[in-house]
Amino acid sequence: MKRFFVLLSTCLLSQQIFAQSVGTFEQWQCSQEEDSTSNQSLQSAVIEFKGIPITGHVDDFAAKLRALGYTPLTVTDNGIIVMTGQFVNKDCFIYLSSTAKSKQIWKVSAVIEDRYTSWSSIKSDYHKYKDLYIKKYGQPASDFHFFLSPYSEGDGCEMLALQNDKCSYFTVFKVAGGLIGVSMFPSCSIGFQYENEVNADLHTTESESDILNDI
């Protein structure tokens, strides 16, 4: 997640990092076959970020983050609010994703601003954060680390593999009220995603409604 660039370049970079980061978490969700009984009990609670429940209108959530010292930066073309501030003792970009129509917050993403330049450093920090999340939340629901051809760990091209989306290091924790993800991003950074599962479903429903009305 960085202290701070010139405003325009920071806005552009933050949007690029976020665009690179969103796919893996959502791909993992789509791959899961969920137990509806256990999910209902987990979803009865509301997941939190920095002690703030991830629920309600996204503007209200942003105001609560501002009260904690986070700074608004920009709003992307697709309505994602971008802020900056500290998370895991690092300068981070914070992304607030809201449902398509009702603007209920459904996901908070925090991406460390520093871009890693070596495989050993990003891998070491990834495992450090992963271990801390395990210490707090227990064993992950999913945990995968792999490279795709022509890359492999140990070939000296790990960072190139990461940049080309041929390397995936991703851990998902299922917690009361939602999901938490810890991952490496193709931007050569590490990020954390906190998702309200109920509002994520609402986001899908609202996003699909216009299409369903058309077809």
Residue 159 falls inside a structural domain: yes
Beta-carbon count within 10 A of 112 CB: 24
Q: Report pLDDT for 29.
A: 57
With a CB cutoff of 8 Å and minimum separation 6, the contacts of 157 are: 151
Residue 1 falls inside a structural domain: no
Task: Give the closest residue to 94 by CA, choosing from 82, 80, 105.
Answer: 82
Length of the chain: 215
Residue 127 falls inside a structural domain: yes
- What 8-state DSSP symbol labels residue 116? P
pTM: 0.82
Domain that holds residue 177: 7-214
With a CB cutoff of 8 Å and minimum separation 6, the contacts of 39 are: 197
Residue 129 falls inside a structural domain: yes
With a CB cutoff of 8 Å and minimum separation 6, the contacts of 164 are: 151, 186
> CA 104 to CA 193: how far, in whole Å?
16
Q: Sheet containing 178-185: which strands, arranged edge to edge?
A: 71-75, 81-87, 90-98, 105-112, 189-196, 178-185, 167-175, 142-147
Higher-scoring residue by pLDDT: 59, 43: 59
Residue 203 falls inside a structural domain: yes
Higher-scoring residue by pLDDT: 17, 178: 178
Share of the chain above pLDDT 70, in %: 80
The least confident of 25-34, 55-64, 200-209 is: 25-34
Residue 102 falls inside a structural domain: yes
Confidence class for position 213, pLDDT limits 50, 70, 90: confident
Is the separation of the CB atoms in 110 and 129 below 8 Å? Answer: no
Indicate the number of domains in the chain. 1
The least confident of 41-55, 61-75, 177-191 is: 41-55
Higher-scoring residue by pLDDT: 53, 22: 53
> CA 136 to CA 139: how far, in whole Å?
9
Residue 92 confidence (pLDDT) above 80: yes
Q: What is the mean pLDDT of the chain?
A: 86
Residue 90 falls inside a structural domain: yes
CA distances in angstroms from 97 to 18, 32, 47, 117, listed in the order given:
11, 22, 15, 29
Q: Report pLDDT for 40.
A: 53
